[in-house]
């Protein structure tokens, strides 16, 4: 099969990109390792001002109602038994709802998705991707004009195209019944990371991300946080989150990376939805003849690099400000 743009990964970045390119008349195919409609990515689902602006610019304000966004009233920051509270400027959404909604927008344009496709090999010279259909066991090949890796923090496209994986930190997270309407972040001066509680309706996402700690240490910290919140520790699973320290937007002349696959995540809070939407928009514009992708994304890359350089300092400062009853630094 020969397509103008072959997108690996049917998440936020992949479907948002496919939607834009299909509307411009390009032949697009999205390949997904799992069941595109059935997959469940946990994710906190926080939508900051930048994410909301991206949604409005692309889909209009009607997207907010269709996605059933939740507006938490407060943002609580905790450290060493102290807490500061501020008015929350974020919205939240179940990640599966967002993924399914974007997938539906892409499919409505006539975009095609093939589920359960495992990428096996990449011939960059011939511009051919070899895959195995996990449902039938058949091997198939796809020719492309442009290949886009939108397949997450453990991107196969990135590894095959460069020979190197990107740096990522493993977070632990799970779902609980919502018992608090506020977003809660907890810090510790001795740790480079945080625990979180993010409500999204009847459910909430809880998790822990910590640079340098192993899964056992993260689990212990998260268990203590859940006890403090008055909730039981849920069934947990690991989730790779880019560190934001080795961003790569282009692997060769015809291979691009978007969202988590490009390493586009905040080194401070792991946030990536805004960067997935923004990179999809800028890459689509570039492929349709506007500003080069890397040039358009340069301000974003520079901002993330600056955060990465100051990451440990910001974690410590946040902890000390909260413990001293000061005001926490807003990550956005």
Residue 329's pLDDT is 58
Q: What is the pLDDT of residue 332?
A: 44
Q: What is the pTM of this model?
A: 0.95
Q: Using CB atoms within 10 Å of the CB of residue 208, give its burial: 0 to 12 exposed, 13 to 18 middle, 19+ buried.
A: buried
Local confidence pLDDT in tens for the 332 residues of the chain:
899 999 999 999 999 999 999 999 999 999 999 999 988 888 999 999 999 999 999 999 999 999 999 999 999 999 999 999 999 999 999 999 999 999 999 999 999 999 999 999 999 999 999 999 999 999 999 999 999 999 999 999 999 999 998 999 999 999 999 999 999 999 999 999 999 999 999 999 999 999 988 999 999 999 999 999 999 999 999 989 999 999 999 999 999 999 999 999 999 988 999 999 999 999 999 999 999 999 999 999 999 999 999 999 999 998 999 988 666 655 44
pLDDT for position 327: 62
- Domains identified in the chain and CATH numbers: 2-320 (3.50.50.60)
* pLDDT for the residue 326: 60
Query: The tokens 């810090």 sit on which residue?
Result: 187
SS (HEC) of the chain: CEEEEEEECCCHHHHHHHHHHHHCCCCEEEECCCCCCCCCCCCCCEECHHHHHHHHHHHCCHHHHHHCCECCCEEEEEECCEEEEEECCCEECCHHHHHHHHHHHHHHCCCEEECCEEEEEEECCCCEEEEEECCCCCEEEEEEEEEEECCCCCCHHHHHHHCCCCCEEEEEEEEEECCCCCEEEEECCCCEEEEEEEECCCEEEEEEEEECCCHHHHHHHHHHHHHHHCCCCCCCEEEEEECCCCCCCEEECCEEECHHHHCCCCCCCCCCHHHHHHHHHHHHHHHCCCCCHHHHHHHHHHHHHHHHHCHHHHHHHHHHHHHCCCCCCCCC
Contact between 255 and 124 under an 8 Å Cβ cutoff? The reply is yes
> How far is residue 21's CA from residue 280's CA, in Å, rounded to a whole number?
10
Q: Please tell me the distance from the alpha carbon of residue 233 to that of residue 225, in angstroms, as a whole number.
A: 9
SS3 annotation, 169-182 = EEEEEEEEECCCCC
């Amino acid at each position: 099969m020969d397509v103008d743009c072959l997108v690996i990964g049917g998440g936020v970045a992949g479907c948002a990109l496919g939607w834009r390119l299909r509307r411009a008349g390009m032949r697009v195919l999205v390949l997904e390792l799992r069941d595109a409609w059935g997959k469940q990515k946990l994710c906190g689902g926080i939508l900051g001002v930048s994410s909301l602006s991206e949604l409005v610019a692309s889909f209009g304000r009607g997207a907010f109602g269709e996605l059933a966004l939740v507006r938490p009233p407060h943002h609580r920051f905790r450290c060493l038994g102290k807490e500061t509270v501020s008015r929350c400027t974020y919205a939240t959404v179940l990640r599966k709802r967002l993924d399914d909604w974007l997938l539906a927008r892409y499919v409505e344009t006539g975009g095609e998705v093939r589920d359960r496709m495992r990428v096996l090999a990449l011939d960059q010279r011939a511009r051919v991707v070899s895959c195995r259909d996990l449902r039938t066991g058949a091997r198939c090949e796809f020719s492309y004009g442009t290949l886009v890796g939108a397949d997450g923090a453990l991107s196969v496209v990135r590894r095959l195209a460069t020979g190197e994986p990107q740096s990522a930190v493993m977070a632990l997270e799970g779902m609980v019944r919502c018992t608090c309407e506020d977003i809660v972040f907890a810090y510790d001066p001795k740790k480079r990371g945080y625990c979180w509680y993010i409500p999204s309706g009847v459910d909430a996402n809880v998790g822990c991300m910590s640079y340098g700690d192993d899964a056992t240490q993260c689990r212990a910290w998260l268990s203590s946080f859940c006890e403090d919140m008055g909730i039981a520790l849920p069934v947990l699973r690991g989730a790779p989150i880019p560190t934001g320290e080795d961003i790569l937007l282009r692997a060769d002349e015809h291979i691009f990376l978007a969202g988590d696959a490009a390493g586009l995540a905040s080194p401070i809070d792991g946030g990536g939805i805004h960067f997935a939407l923004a990179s999809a928009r800028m890459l689509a514009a570039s492929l349709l003849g506007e500003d080069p992708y890397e040039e358009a994304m340069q301000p974003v890359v520079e901002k993330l690099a600056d955060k990465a350089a100051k990451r440990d300092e910001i974690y410590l400062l946040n902890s000390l400000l909260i413990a001293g009853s000061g005001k926490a630094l807003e990550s956005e």
